[in-house]
Amino acid sequence: MSDAVLVLNAGSSSLKYQLVEPDSGDRIATGIVERIGSDDASASHEQGGATHETHGAVADHKAALHTALDLFAEAGTDLRSTRLLAVGHRVVHGGRRFSQPVVLDDDAVAAIDELSSLAPLHNPVNLAGVRAMRDIFPEVPQVAVFDTAFFHDLPAHAATYAIDDEIAQRYDIRRYGFHGTSHEYVSGAAADFLDRPADQLNLIVLHLGNGASASAVRGGRAVDTTMGLTPLEGLVMGTRSGDLDPAIVAYLERVADMDVDAVDTMLNKEAGLKGLCGDNDFRTITARIDDGDERARLAYDVYIHRLRRYIGAYMVDLGRVDAIVFTAGVGENASNVRADALTGLEGFGIAVDPEANTVRSRQARRISPDDAAVAVLVVPTDEELAIARKSAELVRAG
């Protein structure tokens, strides 16, 4: 095996992992452990065309990693005796401090821990994965790759909230942005696809997954993005509200007897498409719309309206747009979303070719007519490969 990086994405009750060769981009294995912390956990591991599965109790993230290592062994790879180049961890919040990936020593772990107040749903579980790996593989360099890093240098006018400056400084309140690894990767892949230097391209990147965010990228650098202090701001998402009047939070506290944590949970987990129509998967929502379901229709319309609002904002931000890039689960698969997001914009040189839009593929592709001024692209994201490459680069640089 040539140099390999184990990429870990630890969520609250799940652990996703991939063993990646960063130079070739080859995937040696991929897997997920779900329902961590329950007696009913399950794990699935794909390697060499075969799937290995196991079910049972998995107490915590460390136990989940041992489950993954057992599945690797079952598939014929003893990771405990393999020389890994690095373990690359997806870490959601890098705060003001981290603009680049970092090798995780005690100091970096403590700094990420301190940022937990900004990302209570994410950083503690990301660190659970880090701590478990440091225990199991003390000699392998552990690297953190931050979701916020690509947006670290947002222009001040895009990063700053219009609130009391002293309070903002004291509590580190600014727009951080998230999904940065994906926005950066997809921007580079779009430049490759167009065969143009990234530093000469103005892009609008639409990362539409269960979580969703848009960014404006000028010459390879992010100049605006929809997510803010936390991943709650911006677009309508699967279960998150995105933008709303902040007075709603105080209003609910006053009239609905909901405390701040209850409102926070509602806006993160029971809002967005799920809140609007009870479903958050576009396949189900599209099927319901086809059946004439009005709640699903309204949810879809609200989603598209918000998306178009930001596309318009970023066209103005950038002045000249070379390409609009769709990525992630919805962006890569939902042709109706792509068509409806960009309908009626021919006057701006933006159009979607209906035939090209229906092509299904894992490859980057153009879905705008050849003669359109703005290229509309579908570019599959690959955060794991990006994390593997960044980790390898950092470790090799010594």
Interface contacts to ligand ADP, rule CB under 6 A:
209-211, 238, 280-283, 328-330, 333-334
Contact 191, 197 (CB under 8 A): yes
**C-beta of 104 vs 377, nearer to ligand ADP:** 377
SS3 145: strand
142-146 and 202-208 beta bridge pairing: unpaired
Cβ neighbours, 10 Å, residue 42: 15
Q: Shortest Cβ distance from residue 172 to ligand ADP (Å)? A: 25
9 is in an annotated binding site: yes
209 is in an annotated binding site: yes
Q: Shortest Cβ distance from residue 281 to ligand ADP (Å)? A: 4
Q: Shortest Cβ distance from residue 278 to ligand ADP (Å)? A: 14
16 is in an annotated binding site: yes
Q: Shortest Cβ distance from residue 177 to ligand ADP (Å)? A: 15
**C-beta of 229 vs 237, nearer to ligand ADP:** 237
**C-beta of 86 vs 328, nearer to ligand ADP:** 328
212-218 and 202-208 beta bridge pairing: antiparallel
331 is in an annotated binding site: yes
Distance between CA atoms of residues 217 and 256, nearest Å? 41
**C-beta of 174 vs 179, nearer to ligand ADP:** 179
| φ/ψ bin of 188: left (φ > 0), alpha (ψ from -120 to 50), beta (otherwise) | alpha
Distance between CA atoms of residues 196 and 190, nearest Å? 9
Which residues lie across from 89 on neighbouring strands? Answer: 8, 144
**C-beta of 85 vs 367, nearer to ligand ADP:** 367
210 is in an annotated binding site: yes
Contact 234, 244 (CB under 8 A): no
Q: Helix/strand/coil (H, E, C) string of 63-75?
A: HHHHHHHHHHHHC
Distance between CA atoms of residues 95 and 25, nearest Å? 29
Distance between CA atoms of residues 371 and 369, nearest Å? 6
Distance between CA atoms of residues 178 and 123, nearest Å? 13
330 is in an annotated binding site: yes
Active site residue 105: no
Q: Shortest Cβ distance from residue 330 to ligand ADP (Å)? A: 4
DSSP 346: G
Which residues lie across from 354 on neighbouring strands? Answer: none
**C-beta of 264 vs 281, nearer to ligand ADP:** 281
Q: Shortest Cβ distance from residue 392 to ligand ADP (Å)? A: 23
Tell me the CA distances in angstroms from 65 to 6, 9, 36, 377, 387, one per residue in order.
11, 11, 10, 37, 18
178 is in an annotated binding site: no
62 is in an annotated binding site: no
Contact 179, 222 (CB under 8 A): no
Distance between CA atoms of residues 244 and 233, nearest Å? 8
Catalytic residue (one of 147, 279, 293, 322): 147
Residue nearest to ligand ADP (CB): 329
Annotation: binding site for ATP: 16, 207-211, 281-283, 329-333
Annotation: binding site for Mg(2+): 9, 383
Annotation: binding site for substrate: 90
Annotation: binding site: 9, 16, 90, 207-211, 281-283, 329-333, 383
Active site residues: 147
